[in-house]
Structure 1
Amino acid sequence: MAEGVLFDIAGEIIKKLGSRAFCEMGLWWGVRDELKKLEATVSSIHNMLLDAEEQQKQNRQVKGWLEKLQEIVYDADDLVDDFATEALRRQVMTGNRLTKEVTLFFSSSNRLVYGFKMGHKIKAIREKLADIEADRQFRLEVRTGERGYTTMVRDQTVSSVPEVVIGREGDKKATVELLLASNSKGNVSVISIVGIGGLGKTTLAQFIFNDERIKNYFELKIWVCVSDPFDVKIIVRKILETATCKKSEDLELEALTSQLGNILNGKRYLLVLDDVWNEDCEKWDNLKKILLGGSSGSKILVTTRSKIVAQISSTEEPYLLEGLSPSKSWSLFLHVALRGQEPKDSKIKKIVEEIVKKCVGVPLAIKTIASLLCYKYSENEWGTFLENELSKVPQNENDILPTLKLSYDHLSSPLKHCFAYCALFPKGYKIDVKTLIHLWVAQGFIESSSSTDCADDIGLKYFMELWWRSFFQEVKRDKFGNIHFCKMHDLMHDLATSITGIGTTINPVGLSNTRKLRTFLLPHQRFFLETSREMSIHLNFKKLRAFGVSGFGIKTVPNYIKRLKHLRYLDVSENYEIRTLPNSITNLQNLQVLNVSFCNSLMELPKDIKKMINLRHLSWCSVSCPFQNFPVHER
């Protein structure tokens, strides 16, 4: 996971083990001494983790040591959560005190049995941690105090957040003229915008897509984000869904092609295929044959980083998008960092010129570095940043990831976790921001200074700061002005993936270590996923914090979901055939979010739902509103 995650998890373990509640639990189950020993061991490791996480960048031995440590730290975290969950379970048991004691005596939670079992688990984890600590063959410094990161909030209101675009007026004019020109080769012609990542190809295409002349010229406009994989059936389905504004049926390619033909035939259309990577001529030709039914003047606009893609797809000369000119780069930097005002100090002005030069005309790099400096440094400190950090970044005009990584390095630890977690989503995925915040909370990424702080409100602040720093883009609001959806730039997704060391794992096919899995999501927008419609929660998924099968076509929620005692987030929405939820779901005392929206056949909620004392969000919006008389109250 992201750098710093072990430090924070260890810190949370220490905080919980040192709390009064855990002290009382330790006394009750007769394991107080073991818990205190575990706390001491974790504290000893915690004090050196900051130095270890810094050293791992240059020392493979340290990196390997941290990888071994990570698994045991997560085990310790799960163990602590087990204790807290058992305490919650006892709290919600029904009946008088005598009934409760009799029930507990004959259960696996018998005071003596549970204490004996947990005592052995605590000791085993503590000894593993001690062995790993003793096994290191390198020196680690003890670091105390805070990391030195700060979180700042700009004074602009949320509604004034701009999408900063400077210097592309000429590119827009030239590309619009290409699209409005008469076709020289058949009814449908293909034009490509090609350039390195971060130049603003998608932004330019959006400018063009919303231009008034384009709106008036084309009868039908369709936007599809392609990314990987390039699957003709999936792309055709996406085109259909965008053109009709409704979910497409799961039909064979021939039937989908017929439906698309009925929509395109006789119409002058513009189709934008954003972020194309496919370099297979045959796949492209197969797609193009399906799209030839438009009337004369129809255009397909492709954005790509690959010149090979542009070559095999284009019928016209590709449009090569270049970096911003020095003057436009300067203007963009000033717009983000200094509200458009030039620095008065000539020394600072020279420093800015050097910083802008190192961003090699790439708008994403300019915006990211400018927002970092705006947040983290006063103008007088910009020279220090240039000399000590930016100058050490490898300068490669074809790879700006090292430059973007600088901005990531300056995030607070919680923000690092929240950003890196987004590597789970596929490229081009439209992220529901409310859901994303719920997932952050479920994973324990939200830090609060007070028990009265609302985790969702803090999560929204995290999102806003990441957005301001250009880690998110294309933010959309609902009709009430609330932030609804967002996307990540492909390069930011690449950065998140490089940080976590994983690919897209939201699709769980082929997972090898399911026992440790904390997130299992099958997204509703899974055009890439072809699998059976049976829900099967693997029995090894016992450590899950988040589980989602929205729109997956399941008919029942298995009774054994009760075994997922760490679960905080459960989404079974848009499964139209679910009629009931098992009452065993009320054993999930840690559950914070339950989403059963648009489960239109669901007639009632479990009778013991009051036992779910941590439930904060119950989403049940439905066409038939079966729970309209259900009493819902704020906690």
Structure 2
Amino acid sequence: MAETALGMATTLVGSALSVASSAAREEMGLLLGVQDDIWFISDELKMMQAFLRAADGARENTGVLKAYLELIRDLAYDIEDCLEEFMVFIKHKNLVQQLLSLRARHRIAVQIRILKQRVQEVSQRNLRYNAIKLTPSTSSNVTGDMELSRNFTALNVDEAQLVGLDEPKKKLMELIAKSKAPMEHTETDNAGPRVVSLVGMGGIGKTALTKKVYDSKDIREMFSTRAWITVSQSFDQMELFKEMILQLFGAESWDRLLKDHQGQVPEVHLADYLSRRLKETRYLIVLDDVWTIDAWNRIKITFQDGGKDDSCVVVTTRNGKLAEYCSPPSNIHHPEFLGKEEATTLFLKKTNKSLDDLEKDKNTKGIVEKILNKCGGLPLAILTIGGLLANKDTKEWKSIYRQLPWDLATNPSLDSLRRVVSLSYSHLPSHLKPCFLHLSIFPEDFEIEKKHLVNRWVAEGFVADDSTTRTLEEVSENYFYELISRCMIQPSKLDNLGNVKTCRIHDIVHDIAVSISRQENYAAIPGGDTSTMSRRISIRHLSYFASKKLDLVVTGKGASKKKSKAFSKAVEKLSSLRSFSVGTNEIDKVDEMDLLVSFAFPLPSLERLKLKGRLEEIPAWVGKSVNLVKIDLQYCKLKDLKALATEPPNLMQLRLYEDAYSADKLEFDRHEFPNLRFLHLQLGYTAALREVTFVESSTPNMERIRIENSKLASGINGVKHLRKLKELYIWSCTLAKHDILREDVNKHTNRPALQILDCNHTSPEESEVKVEVTESISEPGESSQS
């Protein structure tokens, strides 16, 4: 879809522009004779950025526009790759002399000049093919079609098939019918009717529930004046006011207005007319599918002065912030996913089956359970997939279930489900779209740590500096909560203060994200057929998860070696790959991760690597990946880190989680880890590690150390040698030599911040003593970042 391409192109051009601007300022560019070309590329990227902003409001020629935006997207990828390689070369001391050689100078100059030609060609192509006319437009055909599909689906549900609505219906009727409390208002809306909001993800049944209540006999008797208004993102305010008048006061009132104004009623007169008439009656207005606070403010002028006898406005939305803006907390209803029993009942109704049918056929029962797990209690998913299966023999259900992730992108029978879910993505602001797509690299039904996710977004370059005092991590965390508010991700675990620690993404939404990621060449999550990956050489991220349940590469018999070889060859061709995450559920089996060792590359663009599974030694190709800056290891049981000590040369972040390291001493020796800035150890109390030592001249650029859940019976030694250390955080550890560590930090020339929380201090003379210390050892007036 054009909206997908537009969102990704906008983000990528911004990222490429940042790299180009930095590269253009390098003196080495002048020496190589390409500085003018880089400045030209930078200037053209600024124009493309302006073009994309304008394109966001004008999307008539969606087919041509999509193709053109894909050209911009791929060009931005290549610009960023080429210029980042250029930056790495000129900053690498060992390569400076090589750059001065004729061959190296020629190669770099040719690459950059080819990029310049491509930029010129892409810029001219819009003129030749008229990809887009930059005229204002309030909506796109694609979005309009999606909304029409969504509205038709939501309002045409067979009531006989609805289940689990009795209690929600009762609760919603109580909210609508109750008398308005004297102090019931929000800061922005303190004089109007009672406002009840239903908020939840697309397909959860907000509209179906509200329609059932709206059409009930009790509500019809309670409110003689009613209107059901479908708003949607692309609503026309004039048409919406007209529809309100027709439903609330009848066609005669509209005809009289037209006559009084000679056939042309100004919008402001419609708003005044509605406001005046609504003051005189008790009314119920449903505003279905409101997307933004701006849309709410534009509509509420018609009823903000109130109505008679506890009038009510009901808002359905996918935007939690909007619900909080227009309703007090007591008037916000969150429809829940169906429970297992309700989901089964709904599925059986749709497929015309019974529980007896399932009990007679255990294979079918097992497939139904898997299908319902995939649907995750989402009513629209159950109805749509159930409708697909209703006319199929139960023997076909297993193969259809296996194809669901792919069919969601292509099967016309699932079009309504795809459109409803995709609509939420289409209406994300451009800065959130790549953040959402990044979720596709995680496995299905995976619990994602908030901290891990927001840090990945920052590392990917998705987070822009907002010109405030907030850090990029704080801005990224705001993106995280915005996706929760928009019902794109679901909170999973909370900490003691009520902050979200982990989140999940609904399986159906995950499948849609994977589908869009494939379209955008953003990420590949290989399944049973890895051979097709070799033809998709512009993929930026690769996630691979091995488990017996998924029956992938390393777990099968017979064909597993063949699959492993095909997978390895395919990966080696992904020259643009930035992020590579490989995991296994069989954490104690070395052969589960053997395919990694068989790789015969380095990946030239790889920046982030996560390995989760038994390895015992680091594969040789890891050290040869010169752009690798971040490595996360878990369950690897490494005996030492010597394979990473000097290679990869640009490694900046190293995280060792549960059982990643099996030795009792972790020593950083002279001249090891020259660019490492952040070390995170969270190995667990059962790990063998007892001591962490930094030898003089090791890790010269180390800035932050975080150690958690470890039993350091021999302490943390040599902190005084870390000249650039800014922060040392120790939490929930058994820690020896506490006083020596504290003294080393106090005497440290860089005055780092020290935090020791929930730790047990041990020494030969003493039993364990609980210690909690938080120290910010900086000069007066300075602040320490924790």
Same fold by TM-score greater than 0.5: yes
Give the conservation status (yes or no) of the 8 Å contact 2:441–2:524. Answer: yes
**2:130 aligned residue:** 139
Amino acid at match of 1:512: S
- Deviation, 1:133, is 3.3
Secondary structure at 1:442's aligned position in 2? helix
Percent identical among aligned pairs is 18
Does residue 298 of structure 2 align to residue 381 of structure 1? Answer: yes
Deviations 1:258-308 (A, max 9, x none): xxxxxxxxxxxxxxxxxxxxxxxxxxxxxxxxxxxxxxxxxxxxxxxxxxx
Secondary structure at 1:380's aligned position in 2? helix
Does residue 507 of structure 2 align to residue 516 of structure 1? Answer: no
- Selected match of 2:609 from 541, 547, 568: 547
**1:625 aligned residue:** 689
Distance 1:51 1:113, change over 3 A: same
Deviations 1:122-177 (A, max 9, x none): 111221232233334432568799x9xxxxxxxxxxxxxxxxxxxxxxxxxxxxxx
Distance 1:561 1:352, change over 3 A: closer
- Distance in 1 (CA, whole Å) between partners of 2:603 and 2:41 is 25
- Deviation, 1:118, is 1.4
**2:209 aligned residue:** 361
**1:228 aligned residue:** none
Amino acid at match of 1:550: K
- Deviation, 1:360, is 2.3
- Distance in 2 (CA, whole Å) between partners of 1:86 and 1:331 is 68
- Distance in 2 (CA, whole Å) between partners of 1:43 and 1:85 is 23
Structure 2 counterparts to residues 30-429 of structure 1, below 5 A: 30-52=33-55, 59-90=62-93, 104-105=96-97, 108-110=98-100, 113-136=103-126, 137-140=128-131, 320-322=163-165, 328=171, 359-361=207-209, 376-377=293-294, 379-382=296-299, 399=416, 402-429=419-446
- Deviation, 1:447, is 1.4
**1:6 aligned residue:** 9
- Deviation, 1:453, is 5.0
Does residue 509 of structure 2 align to residue 492 of structure 1? Answer: yes
Give the conservation status (yes or no) of the 8 Å contact 1:51–1:142. Answer: no
**2:558 aligned residue:** none
- Deviation, 1:601, is 2.5
**1:533 aligned residue:** 593
- Deviation, 1:78, is 0.9
Give the conservation status (yes or no) of the 8 Å contact 2:635–2:660. Answer: yes
Distance 1:112 1:78, change over 3 A: same
Distance 1:583 1:570, change over 3 A: closer
- Deviation, 1:487, is 0.9
Unaligned runs of 5+ in 2: 139-152, 155-160, 212-229, 234-286, 303-312, 318-379, 385-415, 555-591, 695-701, 706-724, 728-786
- Distance in 1 (CA, whole Å) between partners of 2:646 and 2:426 is 40
How many residues matched?
439
Unaligned runs of 5+ in 1: 91-99, 148-196, 199-317, 391-395
- Deviation, 1:401, is 5.4
- Distance in 2 (CA, whole Å) between partners of 1:590 and 1:6 is 29
- Distance in 1 (CA, whole Å) between partners of 2:34 and 2:104 is 10
- Deviation, 1:525, is 7.7
Q: Note the aligned Cα RMSD (angstroms).
A: 5.0
Give the conservation status (yes or no) of the 8 Å contact 2:658–2:683. Answer: yes
- Distance in 1 (CA, whole Å) between partners of 2:176 and 2:55 is 35
Amino acid at match of 2:83: V
- Deviation, 1:323, is 8.5
- Deviation, 1:455, is 2.9
Secondary structure at 2:36's aligned position in 1? helix
- Deviation, 1:569, is 3.2
- Distance in 2 (CA, whole Å) between partners of 1:594 and 1:129 is 39
- Deviation, 1:321, is 3.5
- Distance in 1 (CA, whole Å) between partners of 2:111 and 2:437 is 31
- Deviation, 1:68, is 3.4
Secondary structure at 1:434's aligned position in 2? helix
Report the structure, 1 or 2, having the larger strand content.
2
Structure 2 counterparts to residues 559-574 of structure 1, below 5 A: 559-574=620-635
Give the conservation status (yes or no) of the 8 Å contact 2:493–2:500. Answer: yes
Structure with greater Cα Rg: 2
Deviations 1:1-32 (A, max 9, x none): 66422122212322333348734342354421
Amino acid at match of 2:298: E
**1:575 aligned residue:** 636
Secondary structure at 2:634's aligned position in 1? coil
- Deviation, 1:514, is 6.3
**2:619 aligned residue:** 558
Higher normalized contact order (CA 8 Å, seq sep 6+, divided by chain length) = 1
Give the conservation status (yes or no) of the 8 Å contact 2:441–2:542. Answer: no
- Deviation, 1:457, is 2.5
Secondary structure at 1:628's aligned position in 2? strand
Structure 2 counterparts to residues 415-494 of structure 1, below 5 A: 415-449=432-466, 453-478=470-495, 483-494=500-511
Give the conservation status (yes or no) of the 8 Å contact 1:29–1:112. Answer: no
- Distance in 1 (CA, whole Å) between partners of 2:426 and 2:166 is 25
- Distance in 1 (CA, whole Å) between partners of 2:636 and 2:177 is 49
- Distance in 2 (CA, whole Å) between partners of 1:88 and 1:371 is 56
- Distance in 1 (CA, whole Å) between partners of 2:54 and 2:494 is 42
**1:600 aligned residue:** 661
Give the conservation status (yes or no) of the 8 Å contact 1:29–1:114. Answer: no
- Distance in 2 (CA, whole Å) between partners of 1:591 and 1:334 is 60
- Distance in 2 (CA, whole Å) between partners of 1:117 and 1:539 is 22
